[in-house]
Amino acid sequence: ARKDLAELIEEGVVLIDHPRTVLGTLAAEIENGDHDAWFDDEPVA
């Protein structure tokens, strides 16, 4: 899976690709569960 954007920025890595490719890859990663933590709700205090 790709690294989170914050990690790429920290490493100084810039990815340039066609939006269709980027979004297609991201959709596949989400379907595979690679980014499930993105959708976890934070507990409300």
Say how many domains are in the chain.
Answer: 1
The pLDDT value given to residue 14: 65
What are the pLDDT tens digits along the chain (45 aa)? 556 777 777 787 766 778 888 888 889 999 999 888 888 888 777
Residue 39: burial class (beta carbons within 10 Å; 0-12, 13-18, 19+)? exposed
The pLDDT value given to residue 15: 66
In a domain? residue 4: yes
Indicate the pTM of the whole model: 0.52
In a domain? residue 12: yes
In a domain? residue 15: yes
Reported as half-sphere exposure (CB side, CA atoms, 13 A), residue 10 has a value of 5
The pLDDT value given to residue 32: 94
In a domain? residue 42: no
The pLDDT value given to residue 39: 82
Range of the domain at 18: 1-33
